[in-house]
């Protein structure tokens, strides 16, 4: 439960932690964490996630750090990885680095905490991902260093690129040494434009943008039937939203709604790789066999990031 009122402090302040006895790797301790972050509107919020580090003594200069942005689980609170105890990316990173690194994995804003999750809203994902590792560093005996690696896949591939993009301003004391982005769902403007064809994903993106930018008018892009189906994002995880969208016999999207100035602008504003970041390398990987995020998404990301050096 989120304390009311929230404690005072800068973003990345650890609020609560809980050892997960049933989820840990040999020689390491895994925690559920709650920490302060900041919404797009500038309001203090609580975000939850996971953290892990070795029980062995840290090196003199502190533990190297990895922060993880997870793939799509949904928008409803019960879909948060720290609630379910299931986080595939966390497991992969822990299995390789639990003996040496301080690891954090955000649930993202609104997943498991009050408010709707701003799904695929880049700055929100980036802040949550960076603040998770700042909070993890405040756990007893965490002993954080300054070097940070950023990891993410699918939605998390998008989140990882945005974490890298906001890191210099959001956490200037951290030294980002590399970012891995796998199959990033980066072209949010494209998803908005194709929402009538990718109904489930389209609905979650619309819900996410509305959560971050409450003044945007949903009726410009969704019919009354679409607005009714949109409510499914608050009760089911991703597969439930996909089923609800597929089951509807009515039109969910308004004609040309994705081309309305507000929705077109806010969609493109979430695209990743649009600004020059630090000089640390970015590794982009996508598979031709990927059945969810089309490989055509990776090309403009590569072109934009390379154009920025």
The 144-153 sheet, strands edge to edge: 14-19, 28-38, 44-54, 102-106, 63-69, 144-153, 175-182, 282-285
Question: In tens digits, what is the pLDDT along the chain, a chain of 309 residues?
Answer: 999 999 999 999 999 999 998 777 778 999 999 999 999 999 999 999 999 999 999 999 999 999 999 999 999 999 999 988 778 898 889 889 989 999 999 999 999 999 999 999 999 999 999 999 999 999 999 999 999 999 999 999 999 999 999 999 999 999 999 999 999 998 898 888 888 788 888 999 999 999 999 999 999 999 999 999 999 999 999 999 999 999 988 999 999 888 899 999 999 999 998 999 988 999 999 998 887 888 888 999 999 999 998
**DSSP-assigned letters across all residues of 84-149:** HT--HHHHHHHHHHTTT-EEEEE--TTSSSSS---TT-HHHHHHHHHHHHHHHTTSTT--EEEEEE
- Number of helices (H), then strands (E), belonging to the chain: the values are 10, 8
Question: What distances in angstroms separate CA 33 from CA 6, 51, 118, 207, 274, one per listed residue?
Answer: 15, 7, 20, 26, 31
Query: What residues does 39 pair with on adjacent strands?
Result: none
Rounded to a whole number, what is the distance in angstroms from the first to the last CA of the chain? 43
Residue position matching structure tokens 């990718």: 198
Question: What is the DSSP pairing of strand 44-54 with strand 102-106?
Answer: antiparallel
């Amino acid at each position: 439960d989120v304390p009311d009122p929230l404690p005072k402090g800068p973003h990345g302040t650890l609020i609560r932690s809980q050892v997960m006895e049933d989820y840990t790797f040999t020689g390491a301790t895994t925690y559920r964490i709650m920490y302060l972050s900041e919404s797009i509107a500038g309001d203090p919020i609580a975000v939850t996630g996971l953290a892990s580090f070795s029980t062995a003594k840290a090196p003199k200069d502190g533990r190297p750090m990895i922060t993880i942005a997870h793939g799509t689980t949904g928008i409803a609170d019960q879909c948060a990885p720290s609630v379910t105890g299931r986080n595939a990316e966390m497991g992969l990173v822990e299995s390789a680095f639990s003996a040496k690194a301080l690891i954090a994995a955000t649930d993202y804003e609104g997943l498991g905490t009050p408010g709707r999750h701003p799904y695929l809203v880049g700055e929100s994902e980036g802040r949550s991902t960076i603040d998770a590792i700042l909070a993890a560093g405040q756990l007893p005996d965490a002993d954080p260093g300054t070097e940070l690696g950023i990891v993410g896949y699918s939605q998390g591939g998008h989140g990882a690129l945005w974490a890298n993009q906001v890191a210099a301003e959001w956490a200037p004391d951290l030294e980002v040494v590399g970012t891995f982005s796998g199959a990033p769902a980066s072209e949010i403007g494209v998803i908005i434009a194709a929402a009538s064809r990718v109904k489930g994903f389209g609905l979650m993106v619309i819900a996410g943008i509305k959560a971050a930018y409450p003044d945007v008018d949903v009726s410009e892009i969704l019919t009354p039937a679409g607005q009714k189906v949109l409510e499914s994002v608050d009760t089911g995880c991703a597969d439930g939203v996909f089923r609800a969208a597929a089951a509807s016999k009515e039109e969910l999207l308004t004609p040309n709604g994705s081309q309305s100035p507000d929705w077109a602008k806010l969609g493109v504003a979430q695209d990743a790789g649009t600004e020059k970041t630090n000089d640390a390398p970015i590794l982009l990987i996508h598979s031709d066999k990927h059945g969810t995020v089309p490989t055509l998404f990776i090309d403009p990301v590569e072109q934009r990031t390379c154009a920025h050096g």
